[in-house]
């Protein structure tokens, strides 16, 4: 039998293993990690491996001996199969679930308090500032006077718009109406 010519790739990580192997490295104490770096829920007990920085399940969370699941450093099926040094490392869970949950919630509230929540207005340009000040200083009498000054020009423009150019009437079909049509619906 010959050796395979292709390089092995990382395998999908099992959520539970029954390996009796134990790493020779010292046990990883949960209290030394930050609350957002581990999860103590029984359904998905896991933590961020300090060596490869990936989430790794903890086996035996309710048993007498907890340890990290054997895992590769790369992505499953993509990277080379290089076993992480943190595989099968014992884990000492010295934080109660309730304490962890309180620390996690306090950290979230503390982080939210540090983030600015108010929307700061955009700085005005000098022209915008001048326009806003002039608008605030105007009175209703000033607005009427401004409208009366512009009214003759507006009337002239309206008269020009109402004029129909000669020679542009449609050849086929009914003539173009010069008054606004208001259809009358029959009463029921």
Is residue 46 helix, strand or coil? strand
Neighbours of 50 (CB within 10 A): 16
Q: Does residue 15 register a pLDDT over 80? A: no
Enclosing H/E stretch for 119: none
What integer is the mean pLDDT of 81-89? 83
152: confidence class by pLDDT, cuts 50, 70, 90: very high
Q: Does residue 85 register a pLDDT over 80? A: yes
Q: Give the integer Cα–Cα distance in Å for 54 and 80.
A: 16
The 10s digit of each residue's pLDDT in 29-42 is 998 988 888 888 88
Give the pLDDT confidence score for residue 163 in this predicted structure: 79
DSSP string across 10-22: PPPPPS-------
Residue owning tokens 């990883």: 28
What average pLDDT is seen over the chain? 80
Is residue 47 helix, strand or coil? strand
Beta strands 28-29 and 38-39 are: unpaired
Q: Which residues of 151-161 are buried (b: 16+ CB within 10 A; e: fewer)?
A: eeeeeeeeeee
Contact assessment for residue 91 and residue 33, using Cβ atoms and an 8 Å cutoff: no
The 10s digit of each residue's pLDDT in 92-128 is 989 888 888 888 888 777 676 676 767 777 777 888 8
Is residue 103 helix, strand or coil? helix
Neighbours of 89 (CB within 10 A): 23
Q: Give the integer Cα–Cα distance in Å for 57 and 34.
A: 17
Residue 7 φ/ψ, nearest 5 degrees = -80, 140
Give the pLDDT confidence score for residue 172 in this predicted structure: 75
The count of residues in the chain is 188
């Amino acid at each position: 039998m010959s050796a395979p010519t292709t390089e092995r790739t990382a395998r999908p990580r099992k959520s539970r293993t029954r390996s009796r192997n134990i790493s020779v490295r010292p046990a990883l104490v949960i209290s030394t990690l930050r609350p957002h770096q581990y999860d103590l829920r029984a359904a998905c007990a896991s933590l961020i491996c300090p060596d490869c920085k990936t989430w790794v399940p903890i086996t035996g969370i309710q048993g007498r001996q907890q340890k990290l699941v054997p895992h590769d450093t790369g992505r499953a099926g993509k990277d080379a199969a290089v076993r992480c040094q943190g595989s099968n490392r014992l884990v000492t869970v010295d934080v109660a679930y309730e304490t962890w949950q309180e620390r996690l919630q306090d950290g979230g509230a503390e982080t939210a308090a540090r983030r600015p929540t108010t929307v700061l207005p955009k700085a005005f340009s000098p022209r915008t500032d001048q326009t806003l000040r002039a608008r605030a200083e105007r009175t209703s009498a000033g607005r009427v006077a401004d409208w009366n000054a512009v009214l003759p020009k507006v009337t002239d423009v309206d008269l020009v718009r109402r004029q129909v150019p000669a020679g542009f009437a449609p050849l086929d079909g009914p003539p173009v109406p010069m008054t606004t049509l208001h259809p009358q619906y029959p009463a029921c």
